[in-house]
Amino acid sequence: MTPEDLYRYDVNGYLLLEGAIAPDELARLNARIDVWEERALEVFCAKSAGENQEVRYDDVVNQEESLVELAANPVVLPHIREMVERPRLKSTWIAFKWRGGQTTLHSNHTPSVTCNFYHFNGQIRHNLLNLMYALHDIEPGGGGLKVVPGSHKANYPRARGDDVSDLLVELSMKAGDVLLFSHDIAHCSKNESDDIRRTVMYTYCPGVIANSFGGDGLYERIFETAPEGSWLKYLTRRPNGFRETYPQPPELDAVVDAVRCAGV
Ligand SMILES: O=C(O)CCC(=O)C(=O)O
């Protein structure tokens, strides 16, 4: 991460990286995700008007092979490595949001256990770093994440019933962009357009934290088949308290250089 990125992320609690998925890869992924959207459309059509107009599929890396490699996307590995201690993949999901589809305002910001939330300790540390990839453009009003910048470091809790709409900033994205954000930031979204918002999420936690779904062996199959010494293997290892279950690959300079040479 550059000093500019670090400053912005620390102050705001989020960072948008443009073009994190190469165009040909994006087209390949979207062709696969079209199939999921067809499935989702059936669920959406069965919803009543009062329901949340969102269809979400959890744990997608175990169901959609084309999404596995993105878990260790070389464009974002330096950010994950920098900001999460002994990182692990925690959860993944695809979400389709139609008009009215929303996620209500929430955050993890509960500074009751000091090692368990966003903090700075000579280095940015997260309990939960979220990566939201836009697979289609998300125009203003199209369900882009709305955040309260800086709220990941708030010292006062949000007052009950305060919708903080005066503080919310909506983040539009282009297809292939990735939005990194601390789950301690107050965030929400609502699609108020006729476009279907199509996103895929990957979340990362320190090695000591368990998976959101399934047991410790949730990513066993991916771990077993990932190349020895790879970041994919490391990120999908089992949690085991403070003890590592697989060695962390070397620093990412070589990865970053390779990405630069490839012109990503
Ligand atoms: O899909 C969204 O807009 C919100 C995602 C979210 O709330 C989260 O990652 O915690």
According to the 3-state scheme, what is the secondary structure of 79-111? HHHHHCCCEEEEEEEEEEECCCCEEEEECCCCC
Q: Considering all CA atoms of the chain, what is the largest pairwise distance in Å, rounded to the nearest integer?
A: 51
Distance 188 CA to ligand 1 centre (A): 7
Per-residue pLDDT of 79-105, as tens digits, reads 999 999 999 999 999 999 999 999 999
**Cα 181 to averaged position of ligand 1 atoms, centre (Å):** 10
**pLDDT, tens digit only, all 264 positions of the chain:** 999 999 999 999 999 999 999 999 999 999 999 999 999 999 999 999 999 999 999 999 999 999 999 999 999 999 999 999 999 999 999 999 999 999 999 887 654 444 456 777 789 988 899 999 999 999 999 999 999 999 998 888 888 888 899 999 999 999 999 999 999 999 999 999 999 999 999 999 999 888 878 899 999 999 999 999 999 999 999 998 888 889 999 876 555 555 544 544
The rounded Å distance from CA 201 to ligand 1 centre is 8
Among 54, 93, 132, 195, name the best residue to mutate to test ligand 1's pocket (greatest count of ligand atoms within 8 A of Cβ).
Answer: 132
**Ligand 1 centre and the CA of 144: distance in Å?**
10
CA 145-197-58 angle, to 5 degrees, is: 85
Q: What is the pLDDT of residues 224-240, one digit of tens each?
A: 999 999 999 999 999 98
- Report the C-alpha gap between 94 and 199 in whole angstroms: 6
CATH number of 3-261: 2.60.120.620
CA-based nearest residue to 143, from 52, 26, 57, 233: 52
CA distances (Å), 100 to each of 28, 43, 174, in order? 28, 15, 21
User: What would the two tokens of residue 262 be?
Assistant: 């490839």
Nearest CA-CA partner of 77 in 136, 16, 20, 152: 20
Going by CA atoms, what residue is nearest to atom 10 of ligand 1? 183
